Structure 1
Amino acid sequence: MKGLFDGIRVLSLAEQFPGPYATLLMADLGADVILVERPGIGDPARAFPAFFRSLARNKRSVCLDLKAAPDRDAFLALVDTADVVMEGYRPGTMEKLGLGYDVLKARNPRLVHVSITGFGQTGPARMRPAHDLSYQGVAGMIRQTKGGEPALPDLAIGDLSSGTFAAFATASALFARERTGQGTTIDVSMTDGLVSWMTPYLVPHVAGDSPFDVHDEPAYGAFRCADGTYLTLSIAHEDHFWAGLCRALGSEDLASLTGAQRRARSPELRHLIANRIARHDRSHWSTLFDRDGIAWSPLYDLDGVAADPHFVARGLFRDVATKTGSERHVAQPVRFSAYATEIRRPAPALGEHGDEVLGRIRKGRVADR
């Protein structure tokens, strides 16, 4: 089977995390993603080799100094053959390089140009430098806990969400181009995306209502088992899940409690659940909860994730041949019945495909598709 994006060429100037994640999603679906990297330096993420490799599979690499006229001209020749240019510079940087959207569009009206920035192309904070923690903070994702201190996140949600938004927006623009024949420029703001993710909290709040807080539910949380492992219960507002849990824990007298009654007694009930869970190993609860259809899951470390039989059965981890052996990757999570999603090549060395991609251009010829 062909990939969904077979025949689509993406020139990626976006570095580190958001853009590379967006182009990873597209490359796994068949897009020809060409990393345009700085000579001798490349993507700063190369300083963390395993991190870089995780996001750079299925891509090719060329080196161009966009501040030098010959290399800038070579890049523009590549633009003539491209469907997408994705970049992650601060607002105005592409214009300073002589590569603003107007210039790119004049050469290739069908081009989709995607810019990923922290705060977007407009607004008073657009030039502010920041990383993921600051984006989450300003979007209201990091709030003070009941103890008064903010709980700092481990996961770079702003990077990942903006990469996903960028891939979705790019696919949408390519779809629209098939109808109109025209490309577009896309402004992806990492903070805008996070504020969008806060919709279920912000909309009730600005309306003067109290948003539903699932953490008030006593059976929504992590619980320690007798063997020292943890499991999660994720019973939110569903009374039938609560009733099933009560039966499994031997607390049938509590099974008829409504959501409002559970939340009113949350500390007491959470303490009871914790004591019951602590009496047996996780394997005991796994068998019991799966049998009774309880909303639960193991709480894993990374070793546990990599060994989970469900993920293995789903083919979520795949080995990729490299020049020195092989390495394991996380596969494309979205599956299509009619299109391939595959890992065709490992991450490229810096500039590895320069001759392959730029050879004809440097000889004064039209670039190959």
Structure 2
Amino acid sequence: MSTSAAAGPTAPLAGIRVISLAEQYPGPFATLLLGDLGADVIQIERPHGGDPSRAFPGLYQALNRGKRSVALDLKDSDALSACRALVATADVMLEGFRPGVLGRLGLGHDDLAQLNPALVYVSVSGFGQSGPLRDLPAHDLTFQALAGLLDADEPRIPHLALADLFAGMFTAFAAVTGVLSARNTGHGGYYDVAMFDTLLTVAATRLVPRVNALPADTLGLDPGYGFFAAADGTWVSLSIAFEDHFWAALCSALDMPDAQALSGPQRVEQRDALQSAIAQRIAAMPADHWDVALAGSGVPYGRLNGVDDILADPHVGLREMFQSIRTRDGEQQTFVRQPLLVDGIAHGPSRGVPQLGEHTAELLAEVGIDPAVVNRLVAPLSEPKPSQIY
């Protein structure tokens, strides 16, 4: 683990200010990526409770380091004016409310484009700003189910919230796209990101063949693609997708000479028998043996790692994926950085996780809000907060 290569003035997005009213997962993941790369991220939260994900400290900390928090009750006219003043200084605004909610508060795209014509306004929602499903409530599992990503015969709850994650990535992409366009045209634009749509996009290789009546491909059906248990109970993975040279190397390492010359279609046709033969051979020796015999033979191979294995992996350490920073209390916290190396620099978080409303006073003063108004807006932050999960 390394000390954070904090985003400084040379970071790719240095000088870009992002105001975010997008809570929970997609918006915070998007701003995590933008913030690590140098953007100044200001998240606006409700005064009592803040982002609902604060009720889950692990989730909140993983997504919200490196940002500044302003607590505003947008139903208060002074708070609404303060929010507009902050947006006037921004390059990007993200919001994650249901369609139409911010418009009713005077914070819709048309309202804010008059205030800041170069503002890139990104709305991230479940089903988008239009269509018959636009007002339907849903979480990640429902999006994956509706997008056809789950096994219809044996559906299981997936380990990763793919709709949240892909929506976050496309939201960050929308922000950067919009800023580039605004610099050329002076017009920021309105970007509509639907979590459901993002899943259809990433599932294109499944959908396009079907919609164009093309034959289904056999990717993933090669017998050398799957998980196999070694003699010591360790699960190992093989990921031969279709490549004959990888298959030949596997057969050589497993002493399967009769199968070595089989073509991809022949392997798929004999899949069950060949996969059984692979399983029997791998089950005969412990994983340490296969680390040498398979990985050393150039076969796409790897162990099935747990979290502790990842933390101890020297490759992960060399890539500086885990970075540590000092918090306001002098404690050390470790986070997973965004994945891009830029000119060899592993840009990561610049500060820790903000307390709710921690930066309200300084940022409102920065945009010229009257000190008496600032004091009134900050006062609720010192009151007892309800123990409520929104």
Output the TM-score relative to the length of structure 1. 0.95
In the TM superposition, what is the alpha-carbon distance from 1:211 to its structure 2 partner?
A: 2.4
Aligned counterpart, 2:64: 56
State whether residues 217 and 262 of structure 1, in contact with CA within 8 Å, keep that contact through their aligned partners in structure 2. Answer: yes
Q: Residue type matched to 1:334 in 2?
A: L
Would you say 1:337 and 2:348 are equivalent positions? no
State whether residues 295 and 302 of structure 2, in contact with CA within 8 Å, keep that contact through their aligned partners in structure 1. Answer: no
Aligned counterpart, 1:328: 334
In the TM superposition, what is the alpha-carbon distance from 1:23 to its structure 2 partner?
A: 0.4
213-222 or 47-56, larger mean C-alpha shift: 213-222
Instruction: Flag the structure with more relative contact order, 1 or 2, with Cα contacts below 8 A and sequence separation at least 6.
Output: 2
Alignment counterpart, residue 239 of structure 1, candidates 230, 239, 244:
244
Q: Aligned ranges for residues 42-81 of structure 1 at < 5 Å?
A: 42-81=50-89
Alignment counterpart, residue 291 of structure 2, candidates 246, 263, 286:
286
Would you say 1:220 and 2:225 are equivalent positions? yes
53-62 or 212-221, larger mean C-alpha shift: 212-221
Once the two structures are superposed, residues 316-344 of structure 1 have per-residue CA deviations (whole angstroms, 9 ceiling, x without a partner) of 11122122521221122111107661321
C-alpha RMSD of matched pairs (Å): 1.6
Alignment counterpart, residue 7 of structure 1, candidates 15, 37, 56:
15
Going from structure 1 to structure 2, the CA distance change for 1:338 and 1:298 (only over 3 Å counts) comes to: closer
Instruction: Name the CA distance, whole Å, in 2 between partners of 1:134 and 1:115.
Output: 20
Alignment counterpart, residue 22 of structure 1, candidates 26, 30, 42:
30
Would you say 1:355 and 2:357 are equivalent positions? no
State whether residues 94 and 122 of structure 2, in contact with CA within 8 Å, keep that contact through their aligned partners in structure 1. Answer: yes
Q: Aligned ranges for residues 152-171 of structure 1 at < 5 Å?
A: 152-171=157-176
What SS does the corresponding residue of 2:317 show, helix, strand or coil? helix
118-127 or 319-328, larger mean C-alpha shift: 319-328
In the TM superposition, what is the alpha-carbon distance from 1:202 to its structure 2 partner?
A: 0.7
Instruction: Report the number of matched residues.
Output: 363
Instruction: Name the CA distance, whole Å, in 2 between partners of 1:180 and 1:87.
Output: 23
Aligned counterpart, 1:128: 136
Aligned counterpart, 2:277: 272
Aligned counterpart, 1:137: 145
In the TM superposition, what is the alpha-carbon distance from 1:288 to its structure 2 partner?
A: 1.7
Structure 1 residue runs of 4+, over 4 Å off? Answer: none
Instruction: Name the CA distance, whole Å, in 1 between partners of 2:103 and 2:13.
Output: 29
Instruction: Name the CA distance, whole Å, in 2 between partners of 1:149 and 1:291.
Output: 36
Instruction: Name the CA distance, whole Å, in 2 between partners of 1:326 and 1:210.
Output: 54
Aligned counterpart, 1:109: 117
In the TM superposition, what is the alpha-carbon distance from 1:364 to its structure 2 partner?
A: 6.7
Instruction: Name the CA distance, whole Å, in 1 between partners of 2:187 and 2:201.
Output: 28
Q: Residue type matched to 1:325 in 2?
A: E
What SS does the corresponding residue of 2:294 show, helix, strand or coil? helix
State whether residues 318 and 329 of structure 1, in contact with CA within 8 Å, keep that contact through their aligned partners in structure 2. Answer: yes
Going from structure 1 to structure 2, the CA distance change for 1:191 and 1:38 (only over 3 Å counts) comes to: same
State whether residues 3 and 339 of structure 1, in contact with CA within 8 Å, keep that contact through their aligned partners in structure 2. Answer: no
Q: Aligned ranges for residues 75-94 of structure 1 at < 5 Å?
A: 75-94=83-102
Would you say 1:310 and 2:318 are equivalent positions? no
In the TM superposition, what is the alpha-carbon distance from 1:96 to its structure 2 partner?
A: 1.2
State whether residues 200 and 211 of structure 1, in contact with CA within 8 Å, keep that contact through their aligned partners in structure 2. Answer: no
What SS does the corresponding residue of 1:10 show, helix, strand or coil? strand
Instruction: Name the CA distance, whole Å, in 2 between partners of 1:31 and 1:89.
Output: 22
Q: Residue type matched to 1:285 in 2?
A: W
Instruction: Name the CA distance, whole Å, in 2 between partners of 1:55 and 1:343.
Output: 11
Instruction: Name the CA distance, whole Å, in 2 between partners of 1:250 and 1:267.
Output: 18
Going from structure 1 to structure 2, the CA distance change for 1:339 and 1:107 (only over 3 Å counts) comes to: farther
Once the two structures are superposed, residues 14-59 of structure 1 have per-residue CA deviations (whole angstroms, 9 ceiling, x without a partner) of 0010000000000001100001000021000000112101111110
Instruction: Name the CA distance, whole Å, in 2 between partners of 1:281 and 1:272.
Output: 16
Instruction: Name the CA distance, whole Å, in 2 between partners of 1:340 and 1:217.
Output: 37
Q: Residue type matched to 2:370 in 1?
A: K
Instruction: Name the CA distance, whole Å, in 2 between partners of 1:150 and 1:180.
Output: 47
In the TM superposition, what is the alpha-carbon distance from 1:204 to its structure 2 partner?
A: 0.6
Aligned counterpart, 1:201: 206
Instruction: Name the CA distance, whole Å, in 2 between partners of 1:42 and 1:286.
Output: 48
Alignment counterpart, residue 193 of structure 2, candidates 167, 188, 192:
188
Instruction: Name the CA distance, whole Å, in 1 between partners of 2:155 and 2:213.
Output: 24
In the TM superposition, what is the alpha-carbon distance from 1:102 to its structure 2 partner?
A: 0.8
Once the two structures are superposed, residues 75-117 of structure 1 have per-residue CA deviations (whole angstroms, 9 ceiling, x without a partner) of 0011111111101001000111111111100000010000000
State whether residues 217 and 266 of structure 1, in contact with CA within 8 Å, keep that contact through their aligned partners in structure 2. Answer: yes
What SS does the corresponding residue of 2:303 show, helix, strand or coil? strand
State whether residues 218 and 268 of structure 2, in contact with CA within 8 Å, keep that contact through their aligned partners in structure 1. Answer: no
326-335 or 22-31, larger mean C-alpha shift: 326-335
Structure 2: gaps spanning 5 or more residues: 1-7, 375-390
1-10 or 131-140, larger mean C-alpha shift: 1-10
Instruction: Name the CA distance, whole Å, in 1 between partners of 2:178 and 2:369.
Output: 31
Q: Residue type matched to 2:55 in 1?
A: A
